[in-house]
Structure 1
Amino acid sequence: MRFVDINDIDQLRDALSERTRAVFIESIGNPMNTVADMEAVSSVAHSHGIPLIVDNTAATPYLLRPFEHGADIVVHSLTKFMGGHGVSIGGSVTDSGKFSWEAFERLSRPDPGLHGLNFTEKFGEQAYIARLRSVLLRDTGACMSPFNAFTLLLGIETLSLRMQRHCENAMKVASFLEGHGAIEWVNYPGLASHPDHRTARKYLKNGFGAIISFAPKGGYPASRKLVDAVRLISHLANIGDAKTLIIHPASTTHHQLSPEHQAASGIMPDMVRLSVGIEDPDDILEDLEQALKVARSA
């Protein structure tokens, strides 16, 4: 596995070799909100005969449909925005059915565990998803409970309404933070100050997502104090809930990593991640304002 700056196409191209089996990107990176030029990435991947896999969790199909921009496989954590309420765990894999899998031996050669079945001969361009269901799903025994399936399907019914409100609220919160004197920096692709803003405008036609990362002035201590001071906002590690969530990654989800490894993961000591919910935006802003006052005393 090789990690590259996905917005550096030359670096991506140089990282590919005859052993590379896929290029994997996020439609909106978490937590730094990177937005890749998906069509350019797809072109590089396909020129090497490998598929582009896109994690579309943060954007959802409401904001972006990766298949329309060259993706071959799309994955979602249904636990996040698709379900929308943080009550069920699930995931999805969707195959575009447009990629040729002939060069992949596990798909194009007879499978002795399935009576010599050749997936590319039997299923053609749907060979990948057919093997995923027939082999990996069978071997891992993954089986969603009926109740989890029910809550996720129920959440999907309101996806468009929720995502619209998520994005509207996030834009208001990001603008509020960017203009606040107690804030060191703000990272949100809807802001003109974001390095990927132009790319975001190209691909994200219905909004820029609900994830904001930012840092209060005062560094690590102020960030810890801010997160502990919120009242309405929930201090949780998830994203994509109807309610607004906040976390300080350096002291929680990434605390086991060294400072060097945290930095390599895009985690700064002062970073706070906010998953903006669908509450009244004034309530979210009021809670952030009072928490920032507490943080300033750090």
Structure 2
Amino acid sequence: MNQNCKKAIKIAVVGDVHNQWEEEDGIALQQLGVDLVLFVGDYGNEAVEVVRAIADLDLPKAAVFGNHDAWYTMTDWGRKHCPYDPEQENWVQQQMDLFGEAHVGYGKRDFPELELTVVGSRPFTWGGPEWRYAKFYQEWFGVDSFADSTRRIVEAAQSSTQNTVIFLGHTGPTGLGDAPEDPCGRDWKPIGGDYGDPDFASAIAQTRALGKQIPLVTFGHMHHNLRHTKTRLRKSVDVSSEGTVYLNAARVNRIKDRDNQKQRNFSLVTLEKGQVSEAKLVWVDPDSQIAEAEILYRQPQPVVEAAPMV
């Protein structure tokens, strides 16, 4: 076994950025001592300069794009309000070029030093049970349906060099519940319904059937603050019967003034022996120290039976 993988692996997941990325974020991640950084997308509305700053982060990383990252290109409304001339510039392509091999949408990035591969789901997704923006996906990726999209994701997973696969998406998969406060639940009118991606769910199931180990599936898109109520937050974590941890990392706004100082949040996931042992949300202060931590998941400890009395 690789010597590095005898120790725990610390992964930082950066939730929806929405233009909140600063030099201090990179410093904080360095100080936290993470081995890998995962970005779930929505850097801004085709925010090329934000993506450029993240691409410059000198840490092992993988990223996907969210719906806001094709905000002006994908929709009729966006094209009408586009702030640049599409005949002269292409901000979607610029973002993809900046990330290069770190962009894993419909692809993967192997990290042999960590003995894992990160596989990306459908890029630029809005979520939901309908195949939307067909023209965009045909022009950019040659994909025409959920089934075709599933195939692309599974092909990436099949090509991974490592048996341990982490899935990274913008929207999570279907199957995590249909209540509005579930990880991918619909919390706008009509209230309720599973708004995850069915192609993502199918790809995870097919990859598991290939014999790959899937300790973590992480995503964002559905913000923790719910629209229909302020009495609770969205559920962050779901755990499957196979032991896969599903983590929604979109705690927005991710940079806030807290206790009279600017703090920024990250989700930190610890992998031990190929499984998630802990996931927590942390707020980091200006000195790159953890000011507050919320445990989202801890691996249950096996019950040890007491030795019989003799």
State the TM-score, normalized to the length of structure 2.
0.26
- Decide which structure has greater helix share: 1
Structure with bigger gyration radius:
1
- Decide which structure has greater strand share: 2
